[in-house]
Amino acid sequence: MTTVQTPQPQKAVALGRHLLDVDSLGAEGIDRVLEEALSEALRATSLRGKTVVNFFYEASTRTRLSFEIAAKRLGADVINVSSGESSVTKGESLVDTARTLEALGADAVVLRHPEPGAAYLMARYFKGSVLNAGDGRHAHPTQALLDLLTLRQSFGDLRGLRVAIVGDIEHSRVARSTTVGLLLCGADVRLCGPRTLLPPRGWLETFPRSDRGGRVTQTASMGDALRDAHAVMALRMQGERQARSLLPDPKEFVRLYGLTRERLKELAPDALVMHPGPANEGVEIAPGLMDAPNSLISMQVTNGVLVRMAVLRLLLGGNGE
């Protein structure tokens, strides 16, 4: 396992009212959330009297449940709504939904939506806090934060850490948000997939940087991506965001890009395996690897509750300013 320095305590930074992406948190904002997630103060927080609405226009297991568990552990009232059981089915717009939730007295809306930018739009019309739980292919900030917490607990400081992210990069909000978070924390990220699932190269220039020295590269070669990497994250094929199949033969994807025990030998010794879930075992990750000793996948899910408690506390508990 890589020996790296533990980060020094940071001066508290303001998070603002919403959590819409990782970019606007910056390196110090990320540090603040991760410190909060591990703090004793988190367990003593009470959000009693606050109402958190989980509004999901897309399916979710991990994100919705962990936001619900997080809010309930903090004593908040939680209401879960899916678009199929709301007045969205009668044509109500996102803006009117925001106004309605506001009039009902919600303090926070956790929003998952298939369209990029949906959480930003909601934030313009909702006076409480909006937490982006995934907007199309754009961003999934709490997933990035839980990935960063998991890597920090495993490696310490992320500066110089080499992380490969493999699969459907083009359609993955996790790929973008986790890459932004890793870069801001000073890690080197290798994005890897078939050329049809890699975004245009200019995309890499759009990532924000910090003074911690992270770099991002993109490759279609698994060998180049995995060589001496400290961690690898496999991504699911995002069929729901592909208008047509972008792979001539899915079996070729499994052969060329599926994570297998054999492929893991190309990584650095003691390297660790991640997946944001949901996973398709036998496609992007071989059966048995998800619960192997070097897998961080369960830890990622568990950390999802801590990170979501931390952001709820920082946004609603009067501790984020």
Quickly tell me which residue has 């678009």 as its tokens. Answer: 83
Q: How far is the CB of 259 from ligand CP (least distance, A)?
A: 17
For residue 302, give the nearest of 272, 277, 285 by alpha carbon: 277
Nearer to ligand CP, 134 or 199 (CB): 134
Region for residue 110 given its phi and psi (left: phi exceeds 0; alpha: psi -120 to 50; beta: otherwise) = beta
Burial-class residue 104 by CB neighbours within 10 Å (0-12, 13-18, 19+).
exposed
Nearer to ligand CP, 63 or 150 (CB): 63
For residue 140, give the nearest of 112, 167, 160 by alpha carbon: 112
Quickly tell me which residue has 């070729």 as its tokens. Answer: 252
Q: How far is the CB of 215 from ligand CP (least distance, A)?
A: 25
Q: Which residues bind ligand CP (CB under 6 A)?
A: 60-63, 134, 143, 276-278
Q: How far is the CB of 172 from ligand CP (least distance, A)?
A: 10
Rg (CA), the chain: 19
Region for residue 49 given its phi and psi (left: phi exceeds 0; alpha: psi -120 to 50; beta: otherwise) = left
Q: How far is the CB of 94 from ligand CP (least distance, A)?
A: 20
Nearer to ligand CP, 45 or 231 (CB): 231
Nearer to ligand CP, 109 or 157 (CB): 109
Q: How far is the CB of 48 from ligand CP (least distance, A)?
A: 26
Nearer to ligand CP, 59 or 256 (CB): 59
Phi (first) and psi of residue 58, to 5 degrees: -135, 160
